[in-house]
Homo-oligomer: A and B are copies of this chain.
Amino acid sequence: MAGPAGDPTAGSDFLQLDIRQAPRGARTEWLAARLRAAIADGTLPVGSRLPAGRVLAAELRVSRGLVTEAYQRLAETGQIAGRGRAGTVVVAAPPPAPTDPAGPTVPAGRGGLVDALRAVPCRIDLSPGVPDLTAFPRTAWLQAERRVLAALTPGDFGYGNPQGAPALREAVAGWLARNRGIRADPAEVIVVAGVAQALWLLARVLPEAGVRRVAVEDPGSLGAREQLEHSGLDTVGVPVDGAGLDVAALRASGAGAALVTPAHQFPTGVVLDGERRRELLAWAAAGGLVLEDDYDAEHRYDRAPVPALRALLPEQVCYAGSVSKLLAPALRLGWLLVPERLRDRVVAEKRFADLGNPVLAQLVLARLMESGELERHLRFVRRRHRRRRDAMLRAIGSELPGARVHGAAAGLHLMVTFDGAGFADTDLATAALGLGVKAHPLSWHRMRPGPPGLILGYAAGPAGESEEGVALLGQALRVLTAKPSAPCRPGPSGT
Contacts and interface: CB of A to CB of B under 8 A. Distances in A.
Given A154-B136, A154-B460, A147 B29 contact: yes
A485 to B, nearest CB: 34
Given A25-B146, A157-B133, A460-B154, A358 B358 contact: yes
Nearest to A192: B354
A153 B333 CA distance: 20
Interface centre among A132, A330, A353, A358 (most CB of B within 10 A): A330
Q: How many copies does the complex hold?
A: 2
A132 B154 CA distance: 8
Interface residues of A, number: 64
Interface stretch (A49-57, A194-202, A415-423): A194-202
Interface in A131-148: 132-134, 136, 138, 141-142, 145-147
A194 B332 contact: no
Contacts of A351: 115
B150 A133 contact: no
Interface in A252-273: none
Interface centre among A136, A152, A194, A359 (most CB of B within 10 A): A152
Contacts of A150: 22-23, 26-27, 29-30, 33, 138
Interface in A224-277: 227, 230-231
A37 B353 contact: no
Contacts of A23: 146, 149-150
Interface in A112-146: 112, 115, 118, 130, 132-134, 136, 138, 141-142, 145-146
A434 interface: no
A109 interface: no
A216 B67 CA distance: 59
Given A37-B153, A154-B460, A358-B333, A26 B146 contact: yes
Given A197-B353, A354-B194, A133 B145 contact: no
Interface in A177-229: 193-194, 196-197, 200, 227
Looking at chain A's contact residues, the main secondary structure is helix
Nearest to A461: B154
A200 B330 CA distance: 22
Nearest to A462: B154
A328 interface: yes
Interface centre among A23, A133, A360 (most CB of B within 10 A): A360
Interface string A341-368: 0000000100111111111110000000
A134 B146 contact: no
A485 B133 CA distance: 67
A1 to B, nearest CB: 20
Contacts of A460: 154, 158
Contacts of A134: 154
Contacts of A149: 23, 26, 138, 141-142
A59 interface: no
Given A29-B150, A154-B136, A158-B328, A354 B197 contact: yes
A333 B332 CA distance: 13
Contacts of A305: none
Nearest to A193: B354
A355 B193 contact: yes
A224 to B, nearest CB: 11
28 contacts: A22-B150, A29-B147, A30-B150, A32-B151, A33-B150, A33-B152, A130-B158, A133-B154, A133-B158, A134-B154, A136-B154, A138-B152, A157-B330, A159-B329, A160-B329, A160-B330, A193-B353, A193-B354, A197-B355, A227-B352, A331-B359, A332-B355, A332-B357, A332-B358, A332-B359, A333-B358, A353-B354, A354-B354
Given A22-B150, A142-B142, A197-B353, 13 more contacts: A27-B150, A30-B151, A33-B151, A118-B159, A138-B150, A145-B145, A157-B330, A158-B460, A160-B330, A196-B352, A200-B353, A330-B359, A358-B358
Interface of A: 22-23, 25-27, 29-30, 32-33, 37, 112, 115, 118, 130, 132-134, 136, 138, 141-142, 145-147, 149-160, 162, 193-194, 196-197, 200, 227, 230-231, 328-333, 348, 351-361, 460
